[in-house]
């Protein structure tokens, strides 16, 4: 157990995978000489050389597709798409090739590619660079989708994604790369496929993932100071969703607040809400609350961006609303 | 002429006829409702797939398009498995889940069958990257049409293959139409060889109606790819005699144009050439036609008699490994 950052945890996992398996290689824009747009891969080029740490042209479709092809050809590629925003240029390859090839080939093919991308807002980089499209990828059969909301998961999800025989889309949160936390490298990474209770509580369930995890945990602490015992569930795996854990937490607390940095319309929060309705309707003492991003393109100005995104205040307020409702 | 040349010539003719007759039968079966969905026929383009496959070995990799019955057959896929796939039967090469556009055979290193124009090119680049990194001397042959050259993925893929010196053989089947849009109406520069040249990729134009010319050019280019590990590009000039798909009234071209192109029918041209060299007579041709017809009849009967995949298996093989259960 040691204290490290989210960024360094992801790097440590990649380094370990590169050391352990000669089929593993990393490719993406500026992952080599530049050291990674968010410095996640800094230093790897010097250790593993340009054959395994490959700087790509700005050709998202080609290099993501090449990762899929290399996976078909026997490699274990890590494809870094700088951010989810640019992954839209590779959507065809991810949705039409990576996700379909196994089923569409009658089970002949497997695509063991790990596609990492940074997601989320909060860095004042305006509408085109602040998207959260976890919901889109999580809606596609054939993909597995992970979202790292802790330092430990930033590490374990790289290893779990690489060990898996299917295409895995791993979301790292842009605003969390400097997050500090404990890392235990002896943890079995397989745990990441299930949701995790980050804080046990009895009064209300705060359900979140990835980008919004630190805010959600902070909101739980604020609520605790007010005498409200909130449970915090980190979904971790967005496809497949851990239905059992979602139902279980609602059955314990009878009230749910879902925190999701995506837009409310068509959001993962909507999906989780529906699953609560399907699986735990009679356990609910109040309507499900959702805390999502305001339905505007994310603005540049700090005060406007803050107003658009889920906030600790907003989560606390939503929890209070849920608690105020009589069964 | 030696016996080898005679057998070789008849083999090429038989291979082209296998495709032609399968395509004609597929169109009939479509009319009968046996085959559904999209069906893109290869009639007129047979010399490209047949010529190219002669030049590729079992270690090589093939990536094709949604008009890929010809490539699949020429690569060695069982026609019964192809026909059953089009019927949607579980004995199809993709268990009936892909249909006409998505023929796959891992064993034959035949990676589809892609329904998205140019979508196969990045895959081919990646397959070649894997071969290079694993030290395997295979050629990845990637088929695509003239329409694909307008797509960003085409340019991205050529750039990446050239930049990283990857063993990809780009095979552009120029049938002069991107669906229904003629080459000069979809490409600012209809001299397609100039596109790879911009990325430093050696390109050559080949008569795609001449099976021997295709074989020769592909053999040469594949050897260069194999020896030098760098990409090559061939533009194979061909023509689609039938409609783009079964939903095409062919409003965009004259019958006269089609008739004129049919004078270049690769099968007719090659048969005449064999006859002129004394390698084929009526009896020999009839025998080949009979063999092809028998094989096709077996394929159709196989498809007819095959079972459907049980609905209970609908959700199998969405992923290789279930997680989180």
Average pLDDT on A170-178 reads 97
Interchain contact, B122 vs A141, CB within 8 Å = no
Looking at the complex, report in whole angstroms how far the Cα of residue B71 sits from the nearest Cα belonging to chain A.
Answer: 16
pLDDT tens string A188-237 = 999 999 999 999 999 999 999 999 999 999 999 999 999 999 999 999 99
Catalogue all structural domains in chain A, each as residue range(s) with its CATH number: 2-192 (3.40.50.970), 196-324 (3.40.50.920)
**Mean pLDDT, all residues of chain A:** 97
pLDDT tens, position by position, for chain B (325 residues)? 456 699 999 999 999 999 999 999 999 999 999 999 999 999 999 999 999 999 999 999 999 999 999 999 999 999 999 999 999 999 999 999 999 999 999 999 999 889 999 999 999 999 999 999 999 999 999 999 999 999 999 999 999 999 999 999 999 999 999 999 999 999 999 999 999 999 999 999 999 999 999 999 999 999 999 999 999 999 999 999 999 998 899 999 999 999 999 999 999 999 999 999 999 999 999 999 999 999 999 999 999 999 999 999 999 999 999 998 7
pLDDT tens string A257-274 = 999 999 999 999 999 999
| Chain A stretch 148-207, residues whose beta carbon is closer than 8 A to a beta carbon of chain B | 164-166, 193-194
| Chain A stretch 127-146, residues whose beta carbon is closer than 8 A to a beta carbon of chain B | 141-142, 144
| Chain A stretch 81-120, residues whose beta carbon is closer than 8 A to a beta carbon of chain B | 92-93, 96-97, 101-110
Burial class (CB in 10 A: 0-12, 13-18, 19+), A281: exposed
Residue A327 has pLDDT above 90, yes or no: no
The 3-class secondary structure across chain A, one letter per residue, is: CEEEEHHHHHHHHHHHHHHHCCCEEEEECCCCCCCCCCCCCCCHHHHHCCCCEEECCCCHHHHHHHHHHHHHCCCEEEEEEEEHHHHHHHHHHHHHHHCCHHHHCCCCCCCCCEEEEEECCCCCCCHHHCCCCHHHHHCCCCCEEEECCCHHHHHHHHHHHHHCCCCEEEEEEHHHCCCEEEECCCCCHHHHHCCEEEECCCCEEEEECHHHHHHHHHHHHHHHHCCCCEEEEECCEEECCCHHHHHHHHHHHCCEEEEEEEECCCCHHHHHHHHHHHHHHHHCCCCCEEEEECCCCCCCCHHHHHHHCCCHHHHHHHHHHHHHCCC
Chain A positions touching B122 (Cβ under 8 A) are 61-66, 68-69, 93
Which residue ranges make up each domain of chain B? Answer: 3-306
Active site residues of A: 60, 129
* A-to-B residue pairs, Cβ atoms closer than 8 angstroms: 155
Interchain contact, A62 vs B160, CB within 8 Å = yes
Give the pLDDT of residue B2: 52
Interchain contact, A103 vs B134, CB within 8 Å = no
* Biggest alpha carbon–alpha carbon distance for chain B: 68
Interchain contact, B320 vs A165, CB within 8 Å = yes
Q: Please give the structure tokens belonging to residue A273.
A: 């809400």
Interchain contact, A105 vs B106, CB within 8 Å = yes
Looking at the complex, report in whole angstroms how far the Cα of residue A14 sits from the nearest Cα belonging to chain B.
Answer: 18
> What ipTM was predicted for this assembly?
0.96
Q: Does domain B3-306 match CATH 3.40.50.970?
A: yes
Nearest Cα residue in chain B from A98: B123
Average pLDDT on A136-163 reads 98
Interchain contact, A96 vs B323, CB within 8 Å = no
Give the pLDDT of residue A206: 98
Chain A positions touching B106 (Cβ under 8 A) are 105, 108-109
Q: Is there a contact between B77 and B58 (Cβ–Cβ < 8 Å)? A: no
pTM above threshold 0.90: yes
Give the pLDDT of residue B1: 43
Looking at the complex, report in whole angstroms how far the Cα of residue B192 sits from the nearest Cα belonging to chain A.
Answer: 20
Looking at the complex, report in whole angstroms how far the Cα of residue A33 sits from the nearest Cα belonging to chain B.
Answer: 16
């Amino acid at each position: 157990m040691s204290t490290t950052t989210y960024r360094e945890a992801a790097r440590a996992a990649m380094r370990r995978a590169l050391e352990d398996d000669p089929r593993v290689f990393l490719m993406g824009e500026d992952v080599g000489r530049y050291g990674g747009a968010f410095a996640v891969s800094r230093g790897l080029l010097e250790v593993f050389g340009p054959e395994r740490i490959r700087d790509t042209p700005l050709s998202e479709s080609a290099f993501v597709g090449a990762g899929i092809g290399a996976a078909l050809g026997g490699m274990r590629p890590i494809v870094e798409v700088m951010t989810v925003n640019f992954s839209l240029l590779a959507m065809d390859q991810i949705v039409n090739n990576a996700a379909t090839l196994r089923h569409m080939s009658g089970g002949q093919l497997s695509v063991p590619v790990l596609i990492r991308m940074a997601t989320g807002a909060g860095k004042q980089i305006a509408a085109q660079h602040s998207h959260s499209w976890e919901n889109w990828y999580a809606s596609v059969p054939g993909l597995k989708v992970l979202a790292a909301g802790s330092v430990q998961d930033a590490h374990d999800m790289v290893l779990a994604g690489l060990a898996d025989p299917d295409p895995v889309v791993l979301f790292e949160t842009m605003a969390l790369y400097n997050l500090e936390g404990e890392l235990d490298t002896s943890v079995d990474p397989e745990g990441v496929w299930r949701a995790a209770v980050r804080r046990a509580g009895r009064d209300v369930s705060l359900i979140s993932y990835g980008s919004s995890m630190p805010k959600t945990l902070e909101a739980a602490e604020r609520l605790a100071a007010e005498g409200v015992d909130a449970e915090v569930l980190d979904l971790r795996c967005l496809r497949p969703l851990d239905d059992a854990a979602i139902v279980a937490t609602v059955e314990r607390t009878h009230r749910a607040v879902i925190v999701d940095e995506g837009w409310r319309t068509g959001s993962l929060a909507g999906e989780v809400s529906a699953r609560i309705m399907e699986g735990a309707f009679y356990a609910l003492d109040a309507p499900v609350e959702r805390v999502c991003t305001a339905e505007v393109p994310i603005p540049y100005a700090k005060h406007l961006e803050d107003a658009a995104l889920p906030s600790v205040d907003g989560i606390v307020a939503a929890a209070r609303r849920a608690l105020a409702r009589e069964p | 002429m030696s016996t080898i040349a005679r057998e070789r010539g008849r083999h090429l003719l038989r291979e082209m006829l296998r495709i032609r007759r399968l395509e004609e039968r597929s169109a009939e079966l479509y009319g009968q409702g046996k085959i559904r969905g999209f069906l893109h026929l290869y009639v007129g383009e047979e010399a490209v797939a047949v010529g190219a496959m002669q030049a590729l070995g079992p270690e090589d990799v093939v990536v094709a398009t949604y008009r890929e019955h010809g490539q699949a057959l020429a690569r060695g896929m069982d026609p019964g498995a192809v026909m059953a796939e089009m019927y949607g039967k579980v004995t199809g090469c993709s268990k009936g889940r892909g249909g006409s556009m998505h023929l796959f055979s891992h064993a034959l290193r035949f990676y589809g069958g892609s329904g998205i124009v140019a979508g196969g090119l990045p895959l081919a680049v990646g397959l070649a990257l894997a071969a290079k990194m694993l030290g395997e001397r295979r050629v990845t042959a990637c088929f695509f049409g003239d329409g694909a050259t307008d797509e960003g993925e085409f340019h991205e893929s050529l750039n990446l293959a050239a930049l990283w010196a990857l063993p990809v053989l780009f095979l552009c089947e120029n049938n002069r139409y991107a669906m229904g849009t003629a080459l000069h109406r979809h490409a600012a520069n209809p001299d397609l060889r100039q596109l790879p040249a911009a990325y430093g990729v050696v390109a050559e134009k080949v008569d795609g109606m001449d099976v021997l010319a295709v074989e020769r050019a592909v053999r040469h280019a594949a050897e260069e790819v194999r020896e030098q590990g760098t990409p090559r590009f061939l533009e194979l000039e061909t023509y689609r005699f039938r409609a783009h798909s079964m939903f095409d009234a062919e409003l965009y071209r004259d019958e006269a144009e089609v008739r004129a192109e049919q004078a270049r029918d690769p099968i007719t041209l090659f048969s005449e050439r064999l006859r002129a060299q004394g390698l084929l007579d009526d009896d020999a041709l009839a025998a080949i036609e009979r063999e092809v017809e028998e094989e096709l009849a077996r394929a159709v009967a196989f498809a007819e008699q095959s079972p459907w995949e049980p609905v209970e298996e609908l959700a199998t093989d969405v992923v290789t490994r279930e997680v989180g259960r």
